[in-house]
């Protein structure tokens, strides 16, 4: 299948190379320890999905400029900051197959590095005089932390319904993806309708991405890096496949399954997975993700055809089909 990230990146291949250079330079610090850690972060660069999105969303209207690059650096810096903090809060000792920052340098340094990366990212927007970028990005950081906190609050009581689920994934995941697309688009046009359409594309892409992520927690695909199958159930996270399956059964059965989840035994996790599969949870979530993916694609209708637009359409399918 030709729908690979490398094919999708083709329209902005040169710009992504440039991005890596600019990103590396933006991370330089006079404090040797900061420099050491940022060099470590650069070595294990991720898939750069967010800069990719910023650039394709900019390219759809013409040529990528300095402002597009600034947006890409900003979101990648912010994303990196949240990953560093995430590893602290989850006590993770691995990230992308490498030891995490907190595993090597301890929590104290990891929390401070996250704060440093966050403020450094915001400074780039400030230095560029991009007030609009700042407005969008601070709102995004707020939504991301609120979404995570809502999830924790609700998870404790195992009482997440479908509406709450969508509120949580919209804030914690889709907000940043939507921001990537909005910043990218706004970097090459002033057309408010187009900018709005691109944000909506991104928010929907983000929802589809997270639903797919939650589906993968139930499906038996070995992940090279990342969390093992059933990790969400172990963490008592109620995701769409489980929520739907619970909605379809009697109250007594719901109680039995929630007890299994609270029980925290390994064999319980398998039973919960079987329950979700037997009650159509995965089909339902896949269908929802497909519908949301279609909404994302439909938002692109107002843009003229281009290789960037084609890549954004293909990216939706890539997200829906990914097994990693």
**Residues at the contact surface with a copy of itself, assessed by CB under 8 A:** 29-34, 82, 85, 88-90, 107-109, 111-116, 118-120, 122-123, 126, 129, 131, 134-135, 138-139, 141-142, 144-146, 148-150, 152-153
The continuous run of DSSP H or E covering 95 comes out as strand 94-95
Q: Which is nearer to a copy of itself, 9 or 170 (CB)?
A: 170
Give the nearest distance from C-beta 24 to a copy of itself in angstroms.
18
Q: Which is nearer to a copy of itself, 61 or 140 (CB)?
A: 140
Which token pair is 277? 């599969």
Give the nearest distance from C-beta 150 to a copy of itself in angstroms.
5
d(CA 180, CA 136): 10
User: Is residue 4 exposed (0-12), middle (13-18) or buried (19+ Cβ within 10 Å)?
Assistant: exposed
DSSP assignment string, 33-51: HHHHHHHHHHHT----HHH
d(CA 140, CA 54): 15
* Owner of token pair 């990103």: 23
Q: Which is nearer to a copy of itself, 123 or 302 (CB)?
A: 123
Give the nearest distance from C-beta 86 to a copy of itself in angstroms.
9
Q: Which is nearer to a copy of itself, 23 or 218 (CB)?
A: 23
Give the nearest distance from C-beta 87 to a copy of itself in angstroms.
10
Cα distances (Å, whole numbers) of residue 57 to 68, 309, 311: 9, 8, 10
Cα distances (Å, whole numbers) of residue 134 to 139, 198, 287: 8, 18, 36
d(CA 259, CA 263): 6
Q: Which is nearer to a copy of itself, 134 or 313 (CB)?
A: 134
Q: Which is nearer to a copy of itself, 119 or 247 (CB)?
A: 119
User: Is residue 23 exposed (0-12), middle (13-18) or buried (19+ Cβ within 10 Å)?
Assistant: buried
Give the nearest distance from C-beta 39 to a copy of itself in angstroms.
14
Q: Which is nearer to a copy of itself, 33 or 324 (CB)?
A: 33
With a CB cutoff of 8 Å and minimum separation 6, the contacts of 279 are 244, 245, 248, 249
With CA atoms as reference, report the closest residue to 84 among 52, 49, 113: 113
d(CA 154, CA 213): 19
d(CA 81, CA 83): 5
Give the nearest distance from C-beta 169 to a copy of itself in angstroms.
15
Q: Which is nearer to a copy of itself, 165 or 201 (CB)?
A: 165
How many other CB atoms are there within 10 angstroms of residue 137's CB atom? 24
Q: Which is nearer to a copy of itself, 148 or 232 (CB)?
A: 148
Give the nearest distance from C-beta 79 to a copy of itself in angstroms.
13
Give the nearest distance from C-beta 313 to a copy of itself in angstroms.
32
With CA atoms as reference, report the closest residue to 214 among 148, 268, 165: 165
């Amino acid at each position: 299948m030709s729908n690979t990230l490398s094919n999708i990146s083709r329209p902005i291949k040169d710009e992504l190379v440039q991005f890596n250079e600019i990103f590396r330079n933006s991370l330089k610090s006079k404090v040797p320890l900061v420099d050491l850690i940022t060099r470590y972060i650069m070595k294990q660069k991720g898939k750069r999905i967010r800069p990719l999105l910023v650039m394709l969303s900019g390219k759809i209207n013409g040529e990528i400029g300095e402002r597009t690059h600034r947006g890409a650096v900003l979101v990648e810096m912010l994303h990196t900051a949240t990953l560093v903090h995430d590893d602290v809060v989850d006590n993770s000792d691995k990230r992308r197959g490498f030891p995490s920052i907190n595993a090597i340098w301890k929590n104290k340094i990891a929390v401070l590095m996250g704060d440093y990366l966050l403020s450094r990212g915001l400074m780039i927007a400030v230095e560029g005089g991009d007030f609009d970028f700042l407005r969008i990005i601070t709102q995004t950081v707020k939504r991301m932390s609120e979404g995570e906190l809502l999830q924790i609050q609700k998870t404790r009581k195992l009482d997440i319904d479908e509406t709450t689920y969508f509120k949580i994934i919209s804030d914690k995941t889709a907000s940043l993806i939507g921001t990537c697309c909005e910043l990218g688009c706004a970097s090459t046009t002033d057309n408010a309708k187009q900018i709005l359409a691109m944000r909506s594309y991104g928010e929907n892409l983000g929802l589809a991405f997270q639903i797919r992520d939650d589906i993968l927690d139930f499906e038996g695909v070995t992940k090279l890096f990342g969390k093992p199958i059933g990790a969400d159930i172990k963490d008592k996270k109620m995701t769409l496949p489980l929520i739907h399956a619970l909605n379809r059964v009697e109250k007594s059965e719901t109680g039995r399954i929630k007890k299994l989840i609270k029980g925290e035994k390994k064999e319980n996790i398998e039973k919960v997975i079987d329950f979700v599969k037997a009650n159509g949870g995965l089909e339902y979530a896949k269908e929802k993700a497909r519908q949301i993916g279609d909404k994302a694609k439909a938002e692109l209708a107002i843009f003229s055809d281009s290789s960037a637009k084609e890549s954004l359409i293909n990216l939706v399918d890539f997200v829906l089909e990914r097994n990693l």
